[in-house]
Chain A
Amino acid sequence: MAVLDVKNLSVRIGEKDLVSDVSFSVTPGEVLSVIGPNGAGKTTLLRAITGDAPSTGELRLNDRPLSDWSPKERALSLAVLTQSNPLAFAFTVEEVVSLGRGPHSTGTVIDREVCQEAMAALDVSHLANRLYPSLSGGEKQRTQLARVMAQIWRPDGNADRLLLLDEPVTSLDLGHQRQLMQAVRRFADSGVAVLMVVHDISLAAAYSDEVLALNDGRLVALGSPESVVTESLIGDLFGTEVRVIAHPVSGKPVVLAG
C-alpha cells in the first residue's frame, strides 16, 4: 500500500499553473527522486504535499486524505526538510536535533537515544555541543536533516512514515553528499518512504528506486533510473546535449555534459 498517493495534483497561483495534473505514489522502503530544470515546479510540488501551497487534486497519506490529518498527528509520520532553514538563535546542534522529537511523547530516554542515532547517521555527533550559527553550511544542512530524520526515526503509531527532502545535498562536499545519500537510503530501507528533489541527476539515479522528471509543471517521465535517465530524455528536459554512461561499478546511469 502506498504511503503517499498523489492524483491529478495541480497548483495554480494567480494565472500561472505551477504544477499541472501530476499523479504518482510512493511506497514504504522506496526512494523517489524528482528531477527537472529550474522553475519546473519541483519545490512547488513538495510544498503542495506539505500543505504550504494551495492545490487541487487528491493527496492521500496512508490512504487517508491529507486534509483529514491534524497537524500533530501528521507530524508523527510525515517529516519535511525545506530548502532554506534560517536559524539565527544559538541552539546547540543537539538541541536543534531534539526539536525534531517535539511531536512525540516518548519520554526523554528514547528521545535522547533517537537523537544520538540520527546525529551518528548524519556524522554530526562530534558537533553535538557546537552552536548552530557557528557551523558551516554543510554542517548546518546535516544537522537539519538529522533533526528531520529524528522526527520519524521510529514508527510512532500504526501509520507508515514519509520523508520529504528538498535538495538535501546542494551545499555538501562530495564525501558528505555520498554519506547523506547513504543515510537516506538506509533510512528508506528501514521502511520509510522517501520523496526528494535532487539537482544532481547522477546522484538521484544512484540512490533512487524511481525517478520522476518534471518540466513546466508537467510529469514528463516516471520510472526506474535506467528508463528515465537516457540521453534523449535528459537532453530534451534540460535543453542541452548530454552523454549517459553506465557507472563502472554499480551500472547505474551517469550523466555527463556535452
Chain B
Amino acid sequence: MMSSAHRRSRRFCFVLLTLALAASFVLALLLGAVTIPPLDVLRALVGTELPGYRMEIIQSIRLPRALLAGFVGAILAICGAILQGLFRNPLADPSLIGVTAGASVGASLMIFLGAGGGLLGGFMGASLVSIGAFSGGLITVWLVYRVATGINGTSVATMLLMGIAVSALSASATGLLDYFADNEMLRRMSLWRMGGLDGANNTRAVLAGLVLLTLLLAAPAFGRALNTLLLGESQARHLGIDVERLKTRLIILVAAGVGTAVAVSGSIAFVGLVVPHMVRLWVGPDHRLLLPLSALGGAVLLLLADTLARTALAPTELPVGLVTALLGAPFFIHLLRQRRNFG
C-alpha cells in the first residue's frame, strides 16, 4: 500500500469525472422547486414555448445557475490546486492568502453603503456588491504579495503569516461594519458570506466561464513547473525554472480566479481546499493531471451541492456554502482516515 499501485489510471478518472459532470448538470436542470418532466426540460432548452413558464424557468433560472455553479466550482478547485502547489502545502486554501477575507470586506462595505443610500437596491446593488468583493480580494492579495516579496524573492512563510494578519484585519473591519449595520443589512451581509448562487444570471455565468477558460488554457503551461516547484524553490531554480516569474503569474491567476468566484457567488468554502486534495489522493500530485481533474471535480461538487441547496427545503433555499461543507467534509475525513499515509 506504500506504492503507486493504489492510483487509478488517468483515463479512468477523466471518464468517470466527465460522466459525473454530465450527470450532475442534467440533475441540476431537472430538479427544482417546480417539477418539470425531463422531456419538457429538453423542449425548453431548444426554445419550445411551454405552459406554466416552464421554458422561462429552465432558460433564465436553472440553466444560468447550473452553468454558474459548474464554472465557480471548477475555478475554486483549480485555484486551490495551484495554491497548494505554490505553498508546497497540500492543505493550503484560497482563503489563506486573504482573498476571501478581503472580498468579504469589499462586499460588506458595498451592502452597508448601498442599503444606506437607498439608491443602490436591486440589480444595480447586487452588481456593486460583486465589484466590491472582486476589488477587495485583489487589493488584499496585492498587499500580501507586496509585503512578502523582498529582494530575495517571495517568502512563502511570510506570505502565509501575512495572509493570516490580513484575514484578521479584514475580520475586524467586517465586524465593525456588522456593528453599525441595521438588521436588514446584517442579514444580507451574513447571507452573502455563507455563499449563494441565487444571483445567477447569464452575465455572471459568461464572466465566470471566461475566467475559467483562461485558467484552463493557462494550466498546461504551468503543470510541469508546478511539479518542479514541489521539490523546493532553490531546487526548482537549479532545474531552470524562473521561480519569481512563475510565482507572480500564479498569484495573479489565483487572485483573478478566486476574486471572480467570490464576486459572483459569495464565499464558498471547502471546494478549493478539498477537491484538489481528493484528486491528489486518487491520481498522485502530478499537476498536469491534477489541475484539469480538479476543475472537473470542483464543478461536480458545486453542481450537486447547489442542487441540494435548492431542493432540500424547497421553496426555501439553503446557502450553498453550508451544503458544500456538509457534502464534502465527511468524504474528506473518510479519505484521510483510509489513506493517511499518502498525505
- A71–B284 CB distance below 8 A: no
Contacts of A134 in B (CB 8 A): 2, 341
Which chain B residues numbered 216 to 239 have a C-beta less than 8 Å away from chain A?
224, 227-228, 230-232, 234-235, 237-239
A52 to B259, CA, bound (A): 34
- B238–A80 CB distance below 8 A: yes
A243 to B224, CA, bound (A): 51
Which chain B residues numbered 51 to 92 have a C-beta less than 8 Å away from chain A?
88-90
Q: Does A102 contact B (CB under 8 A)?
A: yes
Which of the residues A50, A76, A133 comes within 8 Å of B240, measured between beta carbons? A76
Q: Does A79 contact B (CB under 8 A)?
A: yes
Given known contacts A90-B284, A92-B4, A71 and B237 CB-to-CB distance under 8 angstroms: yes
A230 to B303, CA, bound (A): 74
Which of the residues A71, A82, A96 comes within 8 Å of B242, measured between beta carbons? A71
Which of the residues B224, B241, B285 comes within 8 Å of A89, measured between beta carbons? B285
The distance from the CB of A121 to the nearest CB of chain B, in whole angstroms, is: 19
Q: Does A170 contact B (CB under 8 A)?
A: no
Contacts of A73 in B (CB 8 A): 240
The distance from the CB of A88 to the nearest CB of chain B, in whole angstroms, is: 6
- A71–B4 CB distance below 8 A: no
A50 to B284, CA, bound (A): 31
- A99–B231 CB distance below 8 A: yes
A82 to B343, CA, bound (A): 24
Contact with B along A122-150 (1 / 0, CB 8 A): 00000001110110000000000000000
A99 to B227, CA, bound (A): 8
Which chain A residues numbered 60 to 96 have a C-beta less than 8 Å away from chain B?
71-76, 78-80, 82, 85-92, 95-96
Which of the residues A76, A86, A92 comes within 8 Å of B284, measured between beta carbons? A92
- B284–A91 CB distance below 8 A: yes
A145 to B90, CA, bound (A): 25
Among A50, A76, A134, max chain B CB count under 10 A is at: A134
Interface size on A, residues (CB 8 A): 33
- A50–B234 CB distance below 8 A: yes
- A95–B240 CB distance below 8 A: no
Contacts of A76 in B (CB 8 A): 240
- B239–A90 CB distance below 8 A: no
- B3–A129 CB distance below 8 A: yes
The distance from the CB of A184 to the nearest CB of chain B, in whole angstroms, is: 17
Given known contacts A129-B3, A131-B342, A134-B341, A102 and B90 CB-to-CB distance under 8 angstroms: no
Interface size on B, residues (CB 8 A): 28
A38 to B241, CA, bound (A): 31
Which of the residues A50, A85, A90, A151 comes within 8 Å of B285, measured between beta carbons? A90
Query: Which residue from chain A places its CB closest to the CB of B238 in the assembled complex?
Result: A80
Q: Does B5 contact A (CB under 8 A)?
A: yes
- A103–B343 CB distance below 8 A: no
Query: Which residue from chain A places its CB closest to the CB of B234 in the assembled complex?
Result: A52
- A133–B286 CB distance below 8 A: no
Q: Does B193 contact A (CB under 8 A)?
A: no
Which chain B residues numbered 329 to 343 have a C-beta less than 8 Å away from chain A?
341-343
Q: Does A100 contact B (CB under 8 A)?
A: yes
Which of the residues B230, B237, B241, B280 comes within 8 Å of A87, measured between beta carbons? B230
A102 to B228, CA, bound (A): 8
Query: Which residue from chain A places its CB closest to the CB of B85 in the assembled complex?
Result: A89
Which of the residues A75, A86, A130, A133 comes within 8 Å of B238, measured between beta carbons? A75
Contact with B along A169-188 (1 / 0, CB 8 A): 00000000000000000000
Query: Which residue from chain B places its CB closest to the CB of A50 in the assembled complex?
Result: B238
Query: Which residue from chain A places its CB closest to the CB of B6 in the assembled complex?
Result: A131
Query: Which residue from chain B places its CB closest to the CB of A130 in the assembled complex?
Result: B3
The distance from the CB of A144 to the nearest CB of chain B, in whole angstroms, is: 8
Given known contacts A76-B240, A92-B4, A99-B227, A82 and B234 CB-to-CB distance under 8 angstroms: yes
Which chain B residues numbered 238 to 255 have a C-beta less than 8 Å away from chain A?
238-242
A72 to B240, CA, bound (A): 4
Given known contacts A88-B88, A88-B90, A89-B90, A99 and B234 CB-to-CB distance under 8 angstroms: no
- A85–B238 CB distance below 8 A: no
List 5 A-B pairs, minimum CB-CB distance, nearest first.
A75-B240, A89-B285, A103-B240, A134-B2, A72-B240
Q: Can you show 5 pairs from A to B with CB atoms below 8 A apart?
A: A88-B89, A89-B88, A95-B284, A99-B227, A131-B4
